[in-house]
Amino acid sequence: MSSQPKLSILFTKDEIQATVKKLAAEIRRDYLGKHPILIGVLKGSFMFLADLIRHLDFPLEVEFIRLSSYGDRESSGKIKLVHGLQSKVKGRHVLVIEDIVDTGLTTAFVLDYLRRKKPASLKVCALTDKPSRRQIPVNIDYRGLTVPNKFIVGYGLDWDERFRNLPDIYVVENEG
Ligand code: IMP
Protein backbone atom coordinates (compact mmCIF):
# COMPACT_ATOMS: atom_id res chain seq x y z
CA MET A 1 0.00 0.00 0.00
CA SER A 2 2.86 2.37 0.80
CA SER A 3 4.83 1.31 -2.29
CA GLN A 4 5.17 3.88 -5.02
CA PRO A 5 4.66 2.56 -8.55
CA LYS A 6 6.30 4.42 -11.40
CA LEU A 7 3.78 6.39 -13.42
CA SER A 8 4.34 7.71 -16.93
CA ILE A 9 2.01 10.16 -18.60
CA LEU A 10 -0.34 8.82 -21.27
CA PHE A 11 -2.93 11.57 -21.72
CA THR A 12 -2.58 15.10 -20.36
CA LYS A 13 -5.49 16.89 -18.77
CA ASP A 14 -5.77 19.07 -21.88
CA GLU A 15 -6.09 16.01 -24.12
CA ILE A 16 -8.66 14.53 -21.75
CA GLN A 17 -10.67 17.74 -21.60
CA ALA A 18 -10.62 18.07 -25.41
CA THR A 19 -11.92 14.50 -25.64
CA VAL A 20 -14.65 15.17 -23.08
CA LYS A 21 -15.71 18.23 -25.07
CA LYS A 22 -15.78 16.27 -28.34
CA LEU A 23 -17.86 13.48 -26.78
CA ALA A 24 -20.24 16.03 -25.26
CA ALA A 25 -20.78 17.62 -28.68
CA GLU A 26 -21.71 14.21 -30.15
CA ILE A 27 -24.03 13.47 -27.24
CA ARG A 28 -25.64 16.91 -27.48
CA ARG A 29 -26.29 16.39 -31.19
CA ASP A 30 -28.07 13.07 -30.52
CA TYR A 31 -29.86 13.74 -27.20
CA LEU A 32 -30.95 17.37 -27.31
CA GLY A 33 -34.66 17.46 -26.42
CA LYS A 34 -34.73 13.78 -25.38
CA HIS A 35 -34.26 14.31 -21.63
CA PRO A 36 -31.86 11.36 -21.30
CA ILE A 37 -30.71 9.57 -18.14
CA LEU A 38 -26.92 9.36 -17.93
CA ILE A 39 -25.87 6.44 -15.77
CA GLY A 40 -22.35 6.54 -14.36
CA VAL A 41 -20.75 3.24 -13.42
CA LEU A 42 -18.99 3.76 -10.08
CA LYS A 43 -16.47 4.44 -8.99
CA GLY A 44 -14.25 5.17 -11.97
CA SER A 45 -16.66 7.25 -14.05
CA PHE A 46 -17.46 9.95 -11.48
CA MET A 47 -14.95 12.51 -12.72
CA PHE A 48 -15.67 11.98 -16.40
CA LEU A 49 -19.43 12.21 -15.84
CA ALA A 50 -19.04 15.39 -13.80
CA ASP A 51 -16.99 17.06 -16.54
CA LEU A 52 -19.15 15.72 -19.37
CA ILE A 53 -22.46 17.06 -18.08
CA ARG A 54 -20.98 20.54 -17.63
CA HIS A 55 -20.90 20.68 -21.44
CA LEU A 56 -24.50 19.50 -21.81
CA ASP A 57 -26.81 22.48 -21.67
CA PHE A 58 -30.17 20.72 -21.89
CA PRO A 59 -32.40 18.79 -19.46
CA LEU A 60 -30.99 15.43 -18.42
CA GLU A 61 -30.82 13.23 -15.35
CA VAL A 62 -27.88 11.58 -13.62
CA GLU A 63 -27.85 8.20 -11.93
CA PHE A 64 -25.13 5.90 -10.66
CA ILE A 65 -24.84 2.19 -10.39
CA ARG A 66 -22.14 0.27 -8.64
CA LEU A 67 -20.97 -3.25 -9.27
CA SER A 68 -18.74 -5.58 -7.41
CA SER A 69 -16.91 -8.60 -8.60
CA TYR A 70 -16.06 -11.66 -6.62
CA GLY A 71 -13.71 -14.55 -7.19
CA ASP A 72 -11.55 -14.33 -10.27
CA ARG A 73 -13.87 -12.07 -12.22
CA GLU A 74 -11.97 -12.16 -15.46
CA SER A 75 -12.16 -15.90 -15.75
CA SER A 76 -15.51 -16.43 -14.05
CA GLY A 77 -17.27 -13.25 -15.21
CA LYS A 78 -18.98 -13.06 -11.83
CA ILE A 79 -20.26 -9.56 -11.29
CA LYS A 80 -23.05 -8.41 -9.03
CA LEU A 81 -24.91 -5.19 -8.50
CA VAL A 82 -24.18 -3.35 -5.25
CA HIS A 83 -26.10 -0.15 -5.89
CA GLY A 84 -28.87 -0.26 -8.45
CA LEU A 85 -30.97 2.45 -10.01
CA GLN A 86 -33.13 4.84 -8.03
CA SER A 87 -35.24 6.05 -10.93
CA LYS A 88 -37.29 4.29 -13.59
CA VAL A 89 -35.69 3.87 -16.99
CA LYS A 90 -38.59 2.21 -18.77
CA GLY A 91 -39.29 4.16 -21.95
CA ARG A 92 -36.39 6.56 -21.28
CA HIS A 93 -33.30 7.30 -23.35
CA VAL A 94 -30.42 5.84 -21.36
CA LEU A 95 -26.72 6.50 -21.84
CA VAL A 96 -24.21 4.46 -19.83
CA ILE A 97 -21.07 6.39 -18.88
CA GLU A 98 -17.93 4.30 -18.46
CA ASP A 99 -14.40 5.24 -17.44
CA ILE A 100 -12.90 2.34 -19.38
CA VAL A 101 -14.02 -0.68 -21.34
CA ASP A 102 -11.40 -3.32 -20.71
CA THR A 103 -12.54 -6.97 -20.91
CA GLY A 104 -16.05 -5.64 -21.60
CA LEU A 105 -17.58 -7.86 -18.90
CA THR A 106 -18.75 -4.95 -16.75
CA THR A 107 -20.33 -3.02 -19.59
CA ALA A 108 -21.99 -6.15 -20.95
CA PHE A 109 -23.43 -6.84 -17.48
CA VAL A 110 -24.71 -3.28 -17.14
CA LEU A 111 -26.29 -3.33 -20.60
CA ASP A 112 -28.01 -6.61 -19.84
CA TYR A 113 -29.32 -5.26 -16.52
CA LEU A 114 -30.65 -2.11 -18.17
CA ARG A 115 -32.04 -3.75 -21.29
CA ARG A 116 -34.37 -5.82 -19.12
CA LYS A 117 -35.87 -2.55 -17.84
CA LYS A 118 -36.98 -1.69 -21.37
CA PRO A 119 -35.50 1.76 -22.01
CA ALA A 120 -36.50 3.60 -25.21
CA SER A 121 -32.84 3.53 -26.23
CA LEU A 122 -29.62 2.30 -24.65
CA LYS A 123 -26.14 3.45 -25.63
CA VAL A 124 -22.63 3.53 -24.20
CA CYS A 125 -20.16 6.37 -23.85
CA ALA A 126 -16.65 5.38 -22.73
CA LEU A 127 -13.84 7.80 -22.06
CA THR A 128 -11.23 5.12 -22.68
CA ASP A 129 -11.18 1.84 -24.54
CA LYS A 130 -8.65 -0.98 -24.18
CA PRO A 131 -9.69 -3.17 -27.14
CA SER A 132 -6.72 -5.54 -26.86
CA ARG A 133 -8.18 -6.98 -23.66
CA ARG A 134 -11.73 -7.56 -24.82
CA GLN A 135 -13.34 -10.86 -23.83
CA ILE A 136 -16.87 -10.03 -24.88
CA PRO A 137 -17.92 -7.71 -27.72
CA VAL A 138 -19.31 -4.37 -26.56
CA ASN A 139 -20.64 -1.68 -28.85
CA ILE A 140 -19.27 1.71 -27.77
CA ASP A 141 -21.41 4.44 -29.30
CA TYR A 142 -19.31 7.37 -28.05
CA ARG A 143 -15.64 6.45 -27.72
CA GLY A 144 -12.93 8.68 -26.34
CA LEU A 145 -9.31 7.58 -26.11
CA THR A 146 -7.89 4.22 -27.12
CA VAL A 147 -5.39 2.87 -24.60
CA PRO A 148 -2.68 0.26 -25.01
CA ASN A 149 -2.64 -3.01 -23.10
CA LYS A 150 -1.33 -1.34 -19.95
CA PHE A 151 -2.85 -0.52 -16.59
CA ILE A 152 -3.83 3.16 -16.41
CA VAL A 153 -4.64 5.47 -13.50
CA GLY A 154 -5.86 8.99 -12.92
CA TYR A 155 -8.96 10.98 -13.79
CA GLY A 156 -11.15 8.64 -11.72
CA LEU A 157 -9.25 5.44 -12.51
CA ASP A 158 -7.52 3.79 -9.59
CA TRP A 159 -4.76 1.38 -8.68
CA ASP A 160 -5.75 -0.14 -5.34
CA GLU A 161 -7.95 2.94 -4.69
CA ARG A 162 -5.07 5.34 -5.31
CA PHE A 163 -4.55 7.98 -7.99
CA ARG A 164 -8.23 8.66 -8.81
CA ASN A 165 -7.59 12.32 -8.01
CA LEU A 166 -4.94 12.91 -10.68
CA PRO A 167 -6.17 15.22 -13.46
CA ASP A 168 -4.06 13.44 -16.12
CA ILE A 169 -4.02 9.74 -17.08
CA TYR A 170 -0.85 7.71 -16.50
CA VAL A 171 0.40 4.21 -17.27
CA VAL A 172 1.54 2.22 -14.23
CA GLU A 173 4.99 1.11 -15.37
CA ASN A 174 5.71 -1.16 -12.45
CA GLU A 175 3.61 -2.18 -9.52
CA GLY A 176 5.90 -1.01 -6.73
P1 IMP B 1 -13.95 -4.57 -17.60
O2 IMP B 1 -12.76 -5.48 -17.60
O3 IMP B 1 -14.22 -4.00 -18.97
O4 IMP B 1 -15.15 -5.28 -17.04
O5 IMP B 1 -13.62 -3.36 -16.65
C6 IMP B 1 -13.95 -3.42 -15.29
C7 IMP B 1 -13.43 -2.28 -14.50
O8 IMP B 1 -12.06 -2.54 -14.24
C9 IMP B 1 -13.45 -0.89 -15.13
O10 IMP B 1 -14.68 -0.24 -15.00
C11 IMP B 1 -12.38 -0.21 -14.32
O12 IMP B 1 -12.91 0.28 -13.12
C13 IMP B 1 -11.40 -1.34 -14.05
N14 IMP B 1 -10.26 -1.26 -14.98
C15 IMP B 1 -10.05 -1.95 -16.10
N16 IMP B 1 -8.88 -1.60 -16.67
C17 IMP B 1 -8.36 -0.64 -15.87
C18 IMP B 1 -7.15 0.16 -15.90
O19 IMP B 1 -6.31 0.08 -16.81
N20 IMP B 1 -7.00 1.03 -14.87
C21 IMP B 1 -7.89 1.17 -13.86
N22 IMP B 1 -9.01 0.47 -13.79
C23 IMP B 1 -9.24 -0.44 -14.78
Query: Quick one: average pLDDT of 51-63?
Result: 98
Give the Å distance between the CA of 102 and the centre of ligand 1: 5
- Read off the pLDDT of each residue in 139-149 and give the average, rounded to a whole number: 98
Mean pLDDT of the chain: 93
Q: What is the pLDDT of residue 169?
A: 98
CA distances from 1 to 68, 70, 154, 166 (A): 21, 21, 17, 17
3-state SS, one letter per residue, for 67-91: EEECCCHHHHCCEEEEECCCCCCCC
Active-site annotation holds for 141: no
Asked if residue 127 has pLDDT above 60, the reply is yes
Whether the pLDDT of residue 176 is over 60: the answer is no
**pLDDT mean over 26-37:** 98
Given this model, what pLDDT does residue 83 score? 80
Determine which of 2-11, 76-85, 137-146 has the lowest per-residue pLDDT on average: 76-85
Overall average pLDDT of the 118-124 stretch = 98
Residues in the chain, total: 176
**Mean pLDDT of all residues in 31-53:** 97
The torsion defined by the Cα of 107, 113, 118 and 120, in degrees rounded to 10, comes to -20
Active-site pick, 51, 99, 102, 129: 102
Residue 76: per-residue pLDDT: 53
CA of 106 to the centre of ligand 1 (A): 8
CA angle 125, 22, 141 (to 5 degrees): 25
Question: Does the pLDDT at position 142 exceed 70?
Answer: yes
Per-residue pLDDT at 79: 86
